[in-house]
Amino acid sequence: MATSDTEASAPTRRRLGPAHLVIGLVAALAAFGWAFVMANVNQTPGIVAQTITFRVLSDSQVEINFSVTKPRDSSVRCVVHAVDTDFAEVAREEVVVPSGTERLHTTRQLRTSARATAAQIKDCVAR
């Protein structure tokens, strides 16, 4: 019996074997693990700093509202800073949250060397 051209050129379907599924699962887990590590790089476990709001008050002043949560028995140093349109730092202040305090929620006004376009709290580390 002769086969037609369409039957001979039809692609054959191959089933994925268990090895392919295991390789796919391992690759997905590795990608998730890498994403988790990269999201948490340069962070100290147990310390959470969050910028709530910021407001540019003038060409030489910005106001930032932020919170820091940390273990009660540790002292933490954070940096509050403001940047301009080129992301150049125009203000910087260190904030210390002493031991005995678990959470700090405050507002600070920073004097800037030029008009700020953003402000944030960052680089919180145990002292």
Helix (H) or strand (E) holding 59: none
For the chain, give every domain's residue range: 15-43, 48-126
Supply the pLDDT for residue 112: 97
Confidence of residue 6 (pLDDT cuts 50, 70, 90): low
Fold adopted by 48-126: Immunoglobulin-like (2.60.40)
DSSP for 3-37, written as a single string: PPHHHHHSPPP-PPPHHHHHHHHHHHHHHHHHHHH
Supply the pLDDT for residue 9: 64
Torsion sign (Cα): 85, 88, 90, 91: positive
Beta carbons within 10 angstroms of residue 70's beta carbon: 22
Span 70-115, pLDDT tens digits? 999 999 999 999 999 999 999 999 999 999 989 999 999 999 999 9
Supply the pLDDT for residue 65: 97
Q: Is the whole model's pTM more than 0.95, yes or no?
A: no
